[in-house]
Amino acid sequence: MKRRLLTVMLGLAMMFTLAACDGAGNADPPEKQGTKTDTSETGGSNARNDSRSDVLVVVFSATGTTKRVAEKIAVQTGAGLKEIIPAAPYSSADLNYSDSGSRTSREQNDATARPAIAENISIEGYKIVYLGYPIWWGQAPRILSTFVESHDFSGVTVIPFCTSGSSDIGQSDDALAAQAGSGNWVQGKRFSGSVTECELKKWIDDTKPTETEGADMEKTLRLIINDTEVAVEWEKNESVDALTELVSAKDLTIQMSMYGGFEQVGSLGRSLPRNDVQTTTSAGDIMLYSGDKIVVFYGSNSWAYTRLGRITDQSAADMTRLLNNGNVTLKITYGG
């Protein structure tokens, strides 16, 4: 009961603070705060902010700093909070970064290290996952790799955040997105342990996906050849689904090579499901070749390919102009 009262009081204190944030993430001066809290409606809606059961905060924290930030994010978004607990807890000796032989030094020096997690964390049913971690040697702790590689983030917007002594988030969020291989990962953000409620509120408001983004609606693969974006009618097959997952985790930039006087071909960097069929191609066809290469045609060839799509807004002459003038860069993004 006492605990409940404390929670309510804490909630009210939070509403008071949030009501006093300006648009730039600063707190108003105390006398202004007093005025604002009188309007309970402002405080209420700010505090509820994004109260949704499909939002989850997942955090790994070795010494409590990131967890404290995660708790504030959970309160502000109305989200649940789940903690990644290592099967083997990190002792102070393990966390000693001055010791090149400490457990964390060894793990961070080994890109393949995957420390076990004590208890599985389910993200099923969640559309938005805030993912928090401390920076260790400029990277996310390897246990985050264990976590992201063991979950399917399809249809989930992942919002990474971290705390550190001073380092920025760097490439740690991109590396996790690549390891996850699924989900819509947004640019992550580093906070100091003393981040204010107002700074967090501003960030939450700025990064909050719209309903459309959260539901992954209206979004499609977009194809850009050098600087020209072309309209594509994508196939509805498991190869395109896998390509969409890949690209929604991170934009793909592919260096293509001219080949045979009829195509440009480049590596996707990984294999997609394939269902090759003997095909005679024509200008504008986009094919999967050998499972891990994308081919865009400006002429005709007969081979066994899996069709990915077809460029619909360029004539055969346009395709020749685009592709028959030296190697091109192909960019595939996922957006509206």
Ligand X SMILES: Cc1cc2nc3c(=O)[nH]c(=O)nc-3n(C[C@H](O)[C@H](O)[C@H](O)COP(=O)(O)O)c2cc1C
Enumerate binding residues for ligand X (CB under 6 A). 61-67, 95, 97, 104, 134-138, 163-167, 193
Helix (H, G, I), strand (E, B) or coil at 81: strand
- How far apart are the C-alpha atoms of 308 and 119, rounded to whole Å? 39
The token duo for 78 is 């109305």
Quick one: 34 or 165, whose CB is closer to ligand X? Answer: 165
CA distances from 251 to 70, 92, 111 (A): 28, 39, 22
The token duo for 94 is 């393990």
H-helix or E-strand spanning residue 240: helix 238-249
Residue 64: CB atoms within 10 A of its CB come to 12
Distance in Å, CB of 137 to ligand X, minimum: 5
Quick one: 195 or 252, whose CB is closer to ligand X? Answer: 195
Distance in Å, CB of 147 to ligand X, minimum: 15
Quick one: 63 or 228, whose CB is closer to ligand X? Answer: 63
Distance in Å, CB of 61 to ligand X, minimum: 3
CA 212 to chain centre: 16
Distance in Å, CB of 279 to ligand X, minimum: 51
Backbone angles phi, psi at 57, to 5 degrees: -110, 125
Quick one: 129 or 252, whose CB is closer to ligand X? Answer: 129
Quick one: 64 or 326, whose CB is closer to ligand X? Answer: 64
Instruction: Give yes or no for a contact between 242 and 269, defined as CB atoms under 8 angstroms apart.
Output: no
Distance in Å, CB of 22 to ligand X, minimum: 27
